Structure 1
Amino acid sequence: MLRFSTSVLHSRFLLLLALLVLGVTAQAQKQPTLGAGPRTVLTSDSVKLFVQVAGKGTPCLFVHGGPGAGSYSFEKLGGNRLEDQLQMVYLDQRGSGRSGSSRSKNYSMARMVQDLEEVRQQLGVQKWVVLAHSFGGTIATAYARQYPQRVQALVLTNAVLNPVAGLDSMVAYGSSLLPAAARPAPGLPSMQRFGMVMGALQQQKLAGQLQFSHDSLAARAMRASRAVSGNPEFAQQVFSGRLADYGQDYAPATAQLTMPALVILGTDDRTTGATAASYRFPRKQVVTLPGKHNSFLEQPAQFRKAVVSFVQQLPR
């Protein structure tokens, strides 16, 4: 009789312990409900970062491109279509958009990655989907490599992984849009040629054709970008050539990133220097949409469908 009672008590103890463990695990994995609206996140080196939270569902950090473009344009022209399924976290990177500048001029890749992680910590998010556009692909990839346990999945749309290749591709394509007499000499340094090509495209009123299929789309994007104030410091630091880690090729790192990854490409996007093969994620899905460098604006319905379908397939 005593043996039977001890066995029963032991079984009940194990059951109770299991329930407690499961309860703690579920509580730890439960994502907080973030309040909607703007807020300021103060980094460990005292830079004020602008963050806008909107929507409901799986937390999703948006990593903007540019460099230095800010998140507002994507929020109003693409991200807002995702907010019924995703809780979007729109971050303006340091020295960009509505965020402050670094007093120490620290805009290294390591510092940018640390900023993303500090935002996550201060918001109390356990894991999130990281969605990046254009130049933001380099920062998102570096973050996923540093903190893979915090990235539920990656979504890279028209993303750059190799900034040098992207710059060369943009210069070559931009030059092809110009009359022969307006094209810069091929032997000039890449950054100098880039400046000359962009200036000539503006002068010839062809700048919109570089990244948009229609001038009307370029005009919409321009209006959105001008709707809020911008901080040019990060862009100036990158284009100065003083930040060596932005000249690295981050494509090889994708081969070691095992989280699910959605890659969205534009059929006529010739400004990233990347193809489907550049993204080596073991668990990748590739969606190619008609258009150039801003798939979320050029094909909004298909862009939304691709992202929402991908997120709905993720393990809960």
Structure 2
Amino acid sequence: MGKTLLILLLVFCAACSTTRPFRSSDGKKLLNSIAEVRRLNINGSKQFLTIRGADRTKPILLWLHGGPGGVAMPLYMHYSADLEEQFVVVYWDQRGSGKSYSSRISPASMTLDQFVSDTHELTSWLKKHLHQEKLFLLGHSWGGFLGLHVINKYPTDYAALVAVSPITDGPRSEQVSYEFAFHQAQQRGDTASLSTLKRIGPPVNGLYQGGFEATLQE
């Protein structure tokens, strides 16, 4: 089911080359609105974003999705639609994610420093494109972690950061999660889950011996 959902989301993202315009109650397009899909060259990588706002003069809100590599633009656009009335919301597929994925991206470039640089490059473009001096950042999970590093390095570019379920101590979180699952299985006498957890083994500095695939074992 998980792989099927991922495939459907990828197909959905690939199909989203346009975005619906904002219209008034009588069906006329709002003249001061913005609804566009952009492909930008950010630090040598083609990356996609959708910009939506009922009023293009409203503050810019840049969504930093989770992952890294989380395909979340369709979900954010659906559940965050109300924000588009108060902000110009920028939904961005980060390097290697969604429509910004490319097999030509060097694995060596997938670093925190690179993502911070990409965010700053996009910020500079948005400030010029929308004629504003500062942005608001909204980051989920990895996006919150990324946002913290971005505002630490470039504090004058941002008005505020809202971090939703941010990563604070990844290795410790994985250790606590594994121990919790193991103890729950013990208390319930769930021998099948205990067998799986033992086969996976506890994380070492936040990483499992079999990598991410090990956590998908049944």
Q: TM-score, normalised by structure 2?
A: 0.66
Determine if contact 1:126/1:150 at 8 Å carries over to the other structure. yes
Query: Taking structure 1 as reference, are residues 188 and 126 closer, same or farther at Cα in structure 2, changes over 3 Å only?
Result: closer
Assess if the C-alpha contact under 8 Å between 2:174 and 2:203 holds in 1.
no
Return closer, same or farther for 1:103/1:59 CA change in 2, 3 Å cut-off.
same
- SS of residue matched to 1:113: helix
1:136 aligns with 2:143: yes
Residue 191 of structure 1 corresponds to which residue in structure 2? Answer: 208
> Distance between the aligned counterparts of 2:142 and 2:74, measured in 1?
15
Letter in 1 for 2:36: G
1:58 maps to: 59
Can you give the 5+ residue segments of structure 2 that lack an aligned partner in the other structure?
Answer: 1-31
CA offsets per residue over residues 177-215 of structure 1, 9 Å max, x none?
673333226556432377476324xx3xxxxxxxxxxxx
Instruction: Verify: 1:115 aligned to 2:132, yes or no.
Output: no
Aligned residues: 168
Once residues 73 and 180 of structure 1 are traced to their aligned partners in structure 2, the CA distance between those partners, rounded to angstroms, is 36
Aligned-pair identity in percent equals: 24
Change over 3 Å in CA distance of 1:126–1:34 after alignment to 2: farther
Specify the code of the residue in structure 2 equivalent to 1:47. S
CA separation of 1:110 and 1:188: change in aligned 2, threshold 3 A: closer
Structure 2 distance, partners of 1:111, 1:34, is 32
TM-score by length of 1: 0.47
| Matching of residues 1-316 of structure 1 within 5 Å | 35-44=34-43, 46-56=44-54, 57-101=58-102, 103-105=105-107, 106-123=109-126, 124=128, 125-175=132-182, 176=184, 179-184=193-198, 186=201, 189=204, 190-192=207-209, 195=212, 198-200=215-217, 203=218
- Say whether the 8 Å CA contact 2:34–2:53 is kept in structure 1: no
Contact 2:65 2:143 in 1 (8 A): yes
Q: 2:175, 2:202 within 8 Å by CA — same for their partners in 1?
A: no
Relative distance call for 1:34 and 1:169 in structure 2 (3 A) is farther
Displacement of 1:154 = 0.7
Rg: which structure is higher?
1
Answer whether contact 1:59 1:89 (CA < 8 A) is retained. Answer: yes
Identify the residue that residue 11 of structure 2 maps to in structure 1: none
What is the alpha-carbon distance in structure 1 between the residues aligned to residue 118 and residue 96 of structure 2?
A: 12
Query: Aligned equivalents of 1:83 and 1:70: distance in 2?
Result: 20
Displacement after TM superposition at 1:93 (Å): 0.7
In structure 2, C-alpha distance between the alignment counterparts of 1:47 and 1:34, rounded to whole Å? 28
Compute the displacement of 1:174 (Å): 4.7
Which structure is richer in relative contact order (CA contacts within 8 A, separation 6 or more)? 1
Contact 1:174–1:197 (8 Å) recurs in 2? no
8 A Cα contact 1:41 1:122, kept in partner:
no
Structure 2 CA distance for aligned equivalents of residues 37 and 159 of structure 1: 29
Structure 1: gaps of 5 or more residues? 1-32, 204-316
Deviations 1:109-143 (A, max 9, x none): 11111111111222224211100001112211110
For residues 123-167 of structure 1, the C-alpha deviation after alignment (integer angstroms, 9 at most, x for no partner) is 224211100001112211110111100110010111112222233
SS of the residue corresponding to residue 153 of structure 1 reads strand
Is 1:47–1:100's contact at 8 Å kept on the other side of the alignment?
no
Paired residue for 2:7?
none
User: In 2 relative to 1, CA 88–104 (structure 1 residues): closer, same or farther, beyond 3 Å?
Assistant: same
Maintained 8 Å contact 1:134/1:157:
yes
Secondary structure in 1 matching 2:100? coil
The residue type paired with residue 100 of structure 2 is S
